[in-house]
Amino acid sequence: MIMEVNAVVKKLRKGMVRAAILYPSTYSASLSSLAIHSIYYIANSYPEVYAERFTLGNSRSLETRSPLKDFDYIIGSIHYELDYPKLVSILSNGGVSALRSIRRGRPLLIVGGPTPMSNPAPLTDIVDAVAVGEAEVLLPTLIEAIVENHGEPSKVLDSLPSNGFYLPESGEEVKRVWTRDLDAAFYPVKQIQSLSNEPIYGKGFIIETSRGCPRWCRFCIEGRLFKPHRARSSQALVNLVEEGLRINEVNRAVVYSLFFPGSNGELHLLKYFSDRGIKASLPSIRLDLVSDELLELMHGVGQRTLVTAPESISSYGEAVLCKFFKRKDHEAALKQAVDRGFDLKLYFIIGIKGEGFDSVRENVEFIKRISSYARKSGRKVSVSINPLVPKPKTPFQWIGMIDVAKAKRLIKYVRGELGGIADVRPYDAEHAWAQTSIALGDSRLSKLIVEWGLRGGGIRSWRRILDSHSYSAAYVTTGRSFGGKTPWDDIIIGERVEEVAEAEYIALRKIIKETGATNN
């Protein structure tokens, strides 16, 4: 039985707008989703709206145990392509058709999140609208449209502004809408605290210190979707944390940031935590920002593992991924962390189009050296290795990923070389393929995703469904055709994201073509 504090309790009355907030992943994962907390409390701030939550495995709402079919509106937040069949499953189990043409707006299904925002095409036959932008700006607009036009689904959709909401039926271009001033924006200071389940990042107050990233790592979709980089001020952070720890009755913070610590406010916050004995879980740290001061502050907040993503230290990997940092500086920063008593958790991309074996071996030898050094000090090293999954709005949308067989060979090689030296955790190559097939997919996938979800998911099932419908996913390895129309052309992120991706691809084409690894 799930037990919580801070859940919203309202008395159901006639005419009340009932909204389901759907997160197609586990309940524990939902507790660590800042998006879910934000949507939940913004929606429930309207007296005429009662928003209740649904997660994977919960066929009835967490608040009133109501079935999904009793709700007028469903608002979903999706962060991962392979959660699409789970979305279908939750809808079906709740007595709601996943097909928009059958629902006819009853209930309306509106989703947001990085994955549908970057490419809504694979959800064309499922959703009624996709939010293209950030919740603090878009959700009040959506809720007000719902309240003013309750009972008339078509009017709700017609009243949504063209910028910020993509409607599959209209096919019109939509520009992203984003929060200009994080200090002035709504923040869910009150957050759901479970008494029965542990959130995936542990119990604590979630504090987002910044949003977006100033860098242009070529593979990173979130850094592009949430540009420009915006940081909360020192005072705003302290105010939020003081109130959040008090209201939620916790003495631990969970820090969210794509670029950490990229501002004086973030360093000030760490000092604040350390001085007051507040424990904190920190996000991935950029190695070029590691310093004695930072390590001391990390130690002061109880962090004992340095999480960081070198991605690749080979010259080829750095040139393609655009994550430049001198190898000797990488090594020095990691050894510095080990010397200060930190375990290491490293993220590497093994399997980039055109990457030769020597490049992979460079990364493996680097990990061996770091692991050996750490073991001498009694420290542990875990390594996540991942084939590159191409994403829309990045230059890899035109390049594609390596073939699955090669990815499997590379993973096997890395595990063999590092076995007994480091804890190696690979991302399954078949999952990477399936994820890419959806990330770069078109609207024809939509009905196939419905079939997939109704069959229970599974990668083998996905391949069989694509084959049975003669759907070619050749673009997974070839990429989309440069200069041609992509399924996500109607989504405009802005902040030079589209222009930069094109310029990067032109620069990358020469590097990768020299290996004979691309058809573009």
| pLDDT at residue 503 tops 80 | yes
| pLDDT at residue 164 tops 60 | yes
Element (H, E) at 231: strand 230-231
Q: Are 131 and 112 in contact (CB under 8 A)?
A: yes
| pLDDT at residue 477 tops 90 | yes
Looking at residue 403, its pLDDT comes to 95
Can you read off the two tokens belonging to residue 162? 């063209």
Q: Are 174 and 164 in contact (CB under 8 A)?
A: yes
Q: Are 279 and 251 in contact (CB under 8 A)?
A: yes
Nearest-angstrom CA–CA distance, 391 and 285:
23
| pLDDT at residue 519 tops 50 | no
Computed on alpha carbons and rounded to an integer, the radius of gyration of the chain in Å comes to 23
Q: Taking residues 468-494, report their average pLDDT.
A: 97
How much of the chain exceeds pLDDT 70, in percent?
Answer: 98
Looking at residue 329, its pLDDT comes to 85
Q: Taking residues 249-258, report their average pLDDT.
A: 97
Looking at residue 520, its pLDDT comes to 41
For residue 60, the 8-state DSSP code is B
Q: Taking residues 10-29, report their average pLDDT.
A: 96
Nearest-angstrom CA–CA distance, 469 and 472:
9
Long-range contacts formed by 426-430: CB under 8 A, 24+ apart: 426/384, 426/385, 426/386, 427/384, 427/385, 427/386, 427/387, 428/459, 429/351, 429/387, 429/404, 430/404, 430/459
Looking at residue 332, its pLDDT comes to 93
Q: What is the pLDDT of residues 421-440, one digit of tens each?
A: 999 999 999 999 999 999 99
Nearest-angstrom CA–CA distance, 312 and 363:
6
In this prediction the pTM is 0.96
For residue 121, the 8-state DSSP code is G
Residue 354 has phi, psi (to 5 degrees) of 85, -5
Higher pLDDT, 63 or 511: 63
Q: What is the pLDDT of residues 337-392, one digit of tens each?
A: 999 999 999 999 999 999 999 999 999 999 999 999 999 999 999 999 999 999 99
Confidence class for position 19, pLDDT limits 50, 70, 90: very high
| pLDDT at residue 118 tops 80 | yes
For tokens 């980089």, the residue is 229
Confidence class for position 514, pLDDT limits 50, 70, 90: low
| pLDDT at residue 335 tops 80 | yes
Can you read off the two tokens belonging to residue 471? 């759907």
Looking at residue 515, its pLDDT comes to 58
Residue of 114, 39, 107, 36 lying closest to 69 (CA atoms): 107
How much of the chain exceeds pLDDT 90, in percent?
Answer: 92
Question: Is 3.40.50.720 the CATH classification of the domain at 4-175?
Answer: yes
Mean pLDDT, the chain, rounded, equals 95
Confidence class for position 309, pLDDT limits 50, 70, 90: very high
Nearest-angstrom CA–CA distance, 446 and 84:
10
| pLDDT at residue 90 tops 70 | yes
Looking at residue 511, its pLDDT comes to 83
Query: Exposed e or buried b for every residue in 269-283, given b needs 16+ CB within 10 A?
Result: bbebbbeeebbbbbb
- Strand bridging mode 205-208 / 210-211: unpaired
Q: Are 141 and 179 in contact (CB under 8 A)?
A: no
Nearest-angstrom CA–CA distance, 79 and 440:
15
| pLDDT at residue 160 tops 70 | yes
| pLDDT at residue 315 tops 80 | yes
